[in-house]
Structure 1
Amino acid sequence: MLAERIAVLAPELLPHGHREGVEWRCGSLAGERGQSLAVRLTGPRRGVWADFSSGERGDALDLVAAVQFGGNRRDAMTWARTWLGLGDGPVPAIARRAVVNKATTADQDHDDQRRRAKARQLWHSAPTGIAGSPVEAYLRGRGIALREMGRQPGSLRFHPAVWCGEVGRPLPAMLAAICGPNGKLAAVHRTWLAPTPAGGWTKADLQAGKKVLGSFAGGCIRLWRGASGKSLSMAEPGESVIVAEGIETGLSVALACPERRVLCAVSLSNMGRLELPDAIRDVTICADNDGDNPAASKALQAACAWFGRHSHTVRLAKPSMPNSDFNDVLRMNEHEQETDRHGP
């Protein structure tokens, strides 16, 4: 019964979360803003949740126990009966609730379809190719010289006017296609851009400069095909793949290792849900060095365990400097080379 009403229960238990596709997402069981904890809201698995940072998971009753009662299911059961109206108060009519839930599920499914359609419409409204665009200039400012790679990722596009709710008007943006395990476009990642006084482009000065339109669980941005040049679904048996968290990090790695296939998981929590073809055997995770961050460490461990359970050999690479990623490493190396050429 809790699972049937999870679309109401989850926001009540975790009020600072947000709806993302078929899931309610927040930072942890404390309910703060974030992405690491996901509660399924629709379908046969509704009520199932997982905190990809801590590895905790369970059903709807477990969620009540974890949030309200420190894991005590007996106390959670007492609370749940009252919340469901099964205690001293009037008992809700099951038939009426089932109708309401069906309507709610239909509304949620419709919302998911609408967001997916908006993502596809946005993607197809942007011209293909980023050569000479502000996206190329933005990436060049991050030390990523795409022209040195011989070809440019088809998963990236530039759009001159993408609506930004934070400022209430359209802004230029880099778009990235997030494809589901079936290879179809599932969502679009948006990085809003702004021109610099020097004539370049940088990330827009926003509280949330990057956002995803649509649900991307299990999907990824297919940044670089590597030496084979084949799509991910056509990966050759025994092929290896590099998985990064962010776009800039993934492109930095692709620039250094152009012969390797590189994927962007979009978020650390989603890295622990990424679905790869059976032909992929070896996975190298190019992780950010988040310093002394227990939540990030647990999420990374969960990702390694996920790939291990799916019969992949897992290798982990991290920058040595705390609170840095491989794009920081790339830019630092470029700075050192420039200093060696021209002096301090």
Structure 2
Amino acid sequence: MSSASELADRLARIAEAVCRHYLSAGRRAGNYWIVGDLANSKGRSLYVHLTGPRAGKWTDAATGQHGNLLDLIRETCGLVNFRDVADEARHFLSLPKPDPVASKEDGHTGSAPPNRPAAERARRLFHMSQPLAGTLADRYLRQRGIVNASAQAALRFHPSCYYRDLLTGSRASHPALIAAVTDAAGTITGVHRTWLDQNGDGKARVKDPRRALGILLGNAVRFGFPVHGPVPVLAAGEGLESTLSLFQVMPAMPMAAALTVTHLAAFVPPPGCQRLYIAADADAAGRRGIEGLSRRLQALGILPLVIASELGDFNEDLRRLGPDRLTEALRQQLAPPDAMTFLGA
């Protein structure tokens, strides 16, 4: 089995090829590869030695981070477990997979390093991402009628997010919309990734372009929540874009995207909640989510109120029917005080 040092040495021999693959936004300048940062942004802060005794060593002058090409692969792909890093390096080097025997890799004797919690990996990926404004992910959402997304701290962009086909094991990197999943205290417990086409043509052409990582149960992607204090009225929906479409026309109402029907039914409302509008997709699964969450809310003394889309979901309403018609349809479904507060006269 190739050790960590052997893999790093092999990568260093072809350092420029490694950089072209994992830091494609950069360029060669003399004996260095220059790029903005580990998120593959354009710029000159991070430099990688391509030749000589320090080949493969890199430093980010802005942050002080440094390491070898294994560290670079770990950071650019958002990996934590060394076994995954080594697998990715072997795949890039076209090396065979090792026999499943005990090893001394990464300083651990007798077994591979323990896999860190998924929530930790999610937080790492989110903090490696960049603000949404002006990015491919921002343009993707604008094409879907969602024009206020860049103001939301829960949404970020990763220009080269690691993707693995769960069926074939093949690996690739694509731009991705990254959404933070948080608990009631605002702690990031997971992320939701939407991989995007590099040329701006919707989602990436992969088998499952949407995936979540981390702890989702009871948590959600949150928009418009106050930093402190109770949240007496809010809406909780299933899909990210459907919930963002509601937030587009009701930006003063806090919103939570639970991401799946199962997690919508398990959503934990914030303290002080009195009324919760449930926005589920118009299908059998969506109805199950409504029923499950309604029962839990009633048991907590919270009034559940259902709001329904006219078409398949609220993003379809926003794109095909327009924001004015969506606003008027919601006005007919909200309680009168909430219609006045969140939609105006």
Match of 1:259 in 2: 252
For residues 155 and 275 of structure 1, what CA distance do their matches in structure 2 show? 18
Q: Secondary structure at the match of 1:275?
A: coil
Match of 1:122 in 2: 125
For residues 159 and 185 of structure 2, what CA distance do their matches in structure 1 show? 29
1:39-78 equivalences in 2 (<5 Å): none
Match of 1:301 in 2: 291
For residues 286 and 298 of structure 1, what CA distance do their matches in structure 2 show? 12
Q: How far is the alpha carbon of 1:246 from its aligned partner?
A: 1.2
The CA RMSD measured in Å over matched residues stands at 2.3
Match of 2:267 in 1: 274
AA at the equivalent of 2:316: D
Deviations 1:286-343 (A, max 9, x none): 11111xx3x442332111111121111110011133xx00000000123999xxxxxx
Match of 1:328 in 2: 316
For residues 154 and 209 of structure 1, what CA distance do their matches in structure 2 show? 22
For residues 284 and 334 of structure 1, what CA distance do their matches in structure 2 show? 21
Match of 1:145 in 2: 147
Deviations 1:59-105 (A, max 9, x none): xxxxxxxxxxxxxxxxxxxxxxxxxxxxxxxxxxxxxxxxxxxxxxx
Q: How far is the alpha carbon of 1:202 from its aligned partner?
A: 1.3
AA at the equivalent of 2:291: Q
AA at the equivalent of 2:307: A
For residues 212 and 191 of structure 2, what CA distance do their matches in structure 1 show? 6
For residues 155 and 269 of structure 2, what CA distance do their matches in structure 1 show? 21
Deviations 1:88-144 (A, max 9, x none): xxxxxxxxxxxxxxxxxxx9xx64x432221111111112x2111111100011111
Q: Secondary structure at the match of 1:203?
A: coil
Distance of aligned partners of 1:165 and 1:320 in 2 relative to their CA distance in 1, 3 Å threshold = same
For residues 131 and 257 of structure 1, what CA distance do their matches in structure 2 show? 20
1:1-344 equivalences in 2 (<5 Å): 111=115, 113-127=116-130, 129-146=131-148, 152-166=151-165, 167-196=170-199, 200-225=200-225, 230-231=226-227, 234-236=228-230, 239-290=232-283, 293=284, 295-321=285-311, 324-334=312-322
AA at the equivalent of 1:158: F
Q: Secondary structure at the match of 1:289?
A: coil
State whether residues 245 and 266 of structure 1, in contact with CA within 8 Å, keep that contact through their aligned partners in structure 2: yes
For residues 323 and 268 of structure 2, what CA distance do their matches in structure 1 show? 37
For residues 206 and 214 of structure 1, what CA distance do their matches in structure 2 show? 21
Unpaired runs of 5+ residues, structure 2, are 1-110, 326-345
Q: Secondary structure at the match of 1:164?
A: strand
Residues 296-305 or 311-320, more deviating: 296-305
For residues 126 and 175 of structure 2, what CA distance do their matches in structure 1 show? 13
For residues 299 and 253 of structure 1, what CA distance do their matches in structure 2 show? 18
TM-score of the aligned structures, taking structure 2 as reference length? 0.57
AA at the equivalent of 1:287: A
State whether residues 279 and 308 of structure 2, in contact with CA within 8 Å, keep that contact through their aligned partners in structure 1: yes
For residues 324 and 293 of structure 2, what CA distance do their matches in structure 1 show? 33
For residues 270 and 264 of structure 1, what CA distance do their matches in structure 2 show? 9
Distance of aligned partners of 1:302 and 1:318 in 2 relative to their CA distance in 1, 3 Å threshold = same
State whether residues 290 and 306 of structure 2, in contact with CA within 8 Å, keep that contact through their aligned partners in structure 1: no
For residues 298 and 206 of structure 2, what CA distance do their matches in structure 1 show? 37
Distance of aligned partners of 1:271 and 1:335 in 2 relative to their CA distance in 1, 3 Å threshold = closer
State whether residues 136 and 146 of structure 1, in contact with CA within 8 Å, keep that contact through their aligned partners in structure 2: no
State whether residues 177 and 193 of structure 2, in contact with CA within 8 Å, keep that contact through their aligned partners in structure 1: yes
For residues 254 and 269 of structure 2, what CA distance do their matches in structure 1 show? 12
State whether residues 223 and 250 of structure 1, in contact with CA within 8 Å, keep that contact through their aligned partners in structure 2: no
Deviations 1:142-193 (A, max 9, x none): 111127xxx6110000001111102511111000000123321111110000
For residues 335 and 154 of structure 1, what CA distance do their matches in structure 2 show? 23
Match of 1:5 in 2: none
- Percent identical: 25
AA at the equivalent of 2:230: E
Distance of aligned partners of 1:211 and 1:201 in 2 relative to their CA distance in 1, 3 Å threshold = same
AA at the equivalent of 1:278: P
The number of residues matched between the two structures is 209
AA at the equivalent of 2:313: D
AA at the equivalent of 2:300: H
- Specify which structure has the bigger relative contact order, considering alpha-carbon pairs within 8 angstroms and separated by 6 or more residues: 1
